Amino acid sequence: KKEAVMSVARVTTLNFKSKEGADQIEETYKTSAPTEFSEAEQLLEKQAFDGWEGGKCRFCHAVRKDDRDRMAPSLYKILGRPAAVSGNFTYSDALIEMRENGLVWTPETIDAFISDPENFVPGNRMRVEGIKDAKTREFIINYLIRESK
């Protein structure tokens, strides 16, 4: 069975200690291409994003550049971006504070967030249960990488 691995290179330390945190990025995480899966495995990625049993990411989030806005922030090119910077959403104070303290979306931070959103950012507005299955989270993250090129 093939193991999927997200390849991420850390470029520098991030500085997000002020309200202008999003403007202070010098460099951030750079991601390589998503792990190459067979067509069947790519379908599993899409199915995981569209309809994991605890909720449906696709119901609230757009993922492609030309997707229509939905009720939650677009996830298009989310990797390497600071949290809470999309212009189409009013973020919770909790997520804004996390951004100001340095939260940048990487495969690792997305994994931690979607595994237990309320514990990772107490008081956030994403009202879904966490995704307990690590493989499902891996499929979703790989899908985000693949679809937001």
pLDDT tens string 8-40: 333 233 444 443 443 443 343 344 455 666 787
pLDDT averaged over every residue in the chain: 75
Rg of the chain (C-alpha set): 15
pLDDT tens string 61-107: 888 888 877 889 989 889 889 999 988 789 999 999 999 999 999 99
For 19, what's the count of Cα atoms within 13 Å in the CB-facing half-sphere? 1
Q: Which residues contact 70 (CB under 8 A, 6 or more apart)?
A: 59, 60, 61, 62
Torsion of CA 111, 2, 5, 116, to 10 degrees: 10
Residue 82 C-alpha from the chain's centroid: 10
